[in-house]
Amino acid sequence: MISYAFLALIPAVLAAQAPSFSAPAGGPTVASSNYVGQNNGTLTKSPVVAGKVFDRFTQIWIENTDFAVASTSRAFIELAKQGILLTQSYAVTHPSEPNYAASVGGDFWGMGDDNLYNIPSNISTVFDLLEAKNISWAAYQENLPFDGYQGFNFTQPNYLNSSAPPYTYYVRKHNPPVLYDSVTSVAERNTRIRNFNDFAADVNASAIPQWNFITPNMINDAHDTDIDFASDWLEFWLVPLLSNPNFNDNKTLILLTFDENENYAINNQIYSILLGGAVPDSLKGTNDSTYYTHYSTLSSVEANWGLGSLGRQDTNKTVSNVYKFLADVVGYKNLDVTGNDIPLTNLTTTIPGPLNPNLYIPFSAPNMNATGAGGGAVFAAPSLNLSATPEVLGGPVNLTALNQTVPASGLPNSSSDSSPPSPSGSGGSSGDATKSVAGSFAVALAAAGAALFML
């Protein structure tokens, strides 16, 4: 996100140094020392679980851009011709991290910042639903130093400019599964949080899973740059992969989207395109004006594979319409949400929840009676307290006024946060300041720092 008041504080000299795109690797399937961690074996190929419309769903998230701005950028215009442009697609809140959290957990838990959270393991995610049906998954995070890395960010040699100081390309706030203890506390799940050298090897081995989340680094996703930089990255990375059958075949659906828009003063509409071989030829180059949100990724995946649900916002009919071309095939009835009925999701910090220190309510059990688009049962995580319903938990408490922080904030789990490898081949320094932070006062300082840098 960009706060205009904060932007004014950025020295003009920084603003003037907008870099131009430089390919981080020889191609999207070529290993690169710029990606830091070397590949560590490919994922095991598992039998393909057939979906009703697609066998693979891959989403790629770019950052902080208004719909109107993305609409004028070259790669987005070209890619829209090859897919379905979703003209009423919305993020769920601001800033970045709560949107990423929502994409796999079905809620953003009242989060209104980009701080470090560990969401407790009794909170289920889409990975529970997928694994219940043996559907494979992975998150590919560009510049993640090693599989399952849990640090707050990672700083490495600057590959755009070798005389510039080291650069932070990877940030935890853009990595959905790492936010959830139900993932990070299970070693097999951790190895599914991978970097782009793993991606290259997995594509070549035809081992790309059936559900994937792709996060480009902080310059390629437009976060630290702009939409034209991201557009150049898409031409380098995504366009060639669209004709690679190991990435995109006629049963692959790809969602190219944004975490949130940039201008908080208007509703949170984002530019989203459905691409890939699973899009019927007759729909390529068309628009779909159905109201969708990040929760639609969950409901659509649930509908496609007949999964259970999370009993969270993935089952809230207003915000979880299923992609129309899929809903039409599976016979799911979407809600017609238009005009002033479209919820305002440009709000932030005012939504109560377990990750809102000013309006704190503990994690509640999901609505176990809900029925999602897949028709299956609501998944109950082990150790879930089913009696902790919203009614029982009551109204919010202001923890800040009590000098307390939310219980889920703090340091990454130390268990797998071992030293990262030095960047292969580039011989530069690497920094992981998170590990040296100790004590609750320092944690509070880090959180305050993160809040300042939540752009």
Residues known to be catalytic: 224
- Contact call for residue 442 and ligand NAG (CB under 6 A): no
Q: Report the nearest approach of ligand NAG to the CB of residue 404 (Å).
A: 9
- Contact call for residue 449 and ligand NAG (CB under 6 A): yes
Closest CA to 123 of 202, 78, 168, 176: 176
> What region, left, alpha or beta, does residue 114 occupy, with left being phi > 0 and alpha being psi -120 to 50 degrees?
alpha
Q: Report the nearest approach of ligand NAG to the CB of residue 261 (Å).
A: 10
Q: Report the nearest approach of ligand NAG to the CB of residue 228 (Å).
A: 17
Q: Which stretch binds ligand NAG (CB under 6 A): 66-74, 234-242, 262-270, 324-332?
A: 262-270
- Contact call for residue 353 and ligand NAG (CB under 6 A): no
Residue 160, burial from CB neighbour count under 10 angstroms (0-12, 13-18, 19+): middle
Query: Going by C-beta distance under 8 Å and a sequence separation of 6 or more, which residues neighbour residue 275?
Result: 79, 82, 83, 242, 248, 253, 254, 255, 256
Alpha helices in 57-192 (DSSP H): 67-70, 74-81, 96-105, 126-131, 181-184, 187-190
> At 30, is the secondary structure helix, strand, or coil?
coil
Query: Going by C-beta distance under 8 Å and a sequence separation of 6 or more, which residues neighbour residue 49?
Result: 55, 133, 134, 135, 210, 305
Q: Report the nearest approach of ligand NAG to the CB of residue 80 (Å).
A: 22
Q: Which of residues 19-58 bind ligand NAG (CB under 6 A)?
A: 29-31, 37, 40
Q: Which stretch binds ligand NAG (CB under 6 A): 70-78, 136-144, 321-329, 343-351?
A: 343-351
Cα radius of gyration rounded to whole Å, the chain: 21
Q: Which of residues 269-308 bind ligand NAG (CB under 6 A)?
A: none
Q: At what angle do helices 227-242 and 74-81 cross, to 10 degrees?
A: 30
> At 397, is the secondary structure helix, strand, or coil?
strand
Query: Going by C-beta distance under 8 Å and a sequence separation of 6 or more, which residues neighbour residue 360?
Result: 110, 352, 353, 354, 396, 397, 398, 399, 406
Among 3, 191, 244, 246, binds ligand NAG (CB under 6 A): 191
Tell me whether residue 427 or residue 441 sits nearer to ligand NAG (CB atom).
441
The residue count for binding ligand NAG (CB under 6 A) is: 58
> At 168, is the secondary structure helix, strand, or coil?
strand
Asked if 190 and 147 touch (Cβ cutoff 8 Å), the reply is yes
Asked if 120 and 384 touch (Cβ cutoff 8 Å), the reply is no
- Contact call for residue 262 and ligand NAG (CB under 6 A): no
- Contact call for residue 204 and ligand NAG (CB under 6 A): yes
Q: Which of residues 151-180 bind ligand NAG (CB under 6 A)?
A: 152-153, 161, 163-164, 168, 171
Among 139, 201, 270, 278, binds ligand NAG (CB under 6 A): 201
Tell me whether residue 31 or residue 274 sits nearer to ligand NAG (CB atom).
31
Q: Report the nearest approach of ligand NAG to the CB of residue 57 (Å).
A: 17
Tell me whether residue 285 or residue 390 sits nearer to ligand NAG (CB atom).
390
Q: Which residues bind ligand NAG (CB under 6 A)?
A: 17, 29-31, 37, 40, 120, 122, 133-134, 146-147, 152-153, 161, 163-164, 168, 171, 191, 200-201, 204, 249-250, 264-267, 316, 318-319, 343-344, 346, 358-359, 362-365, 367, 369, 384-385, 388, 398, 400-403, 421, 433-434, 437, 446, 449, 453
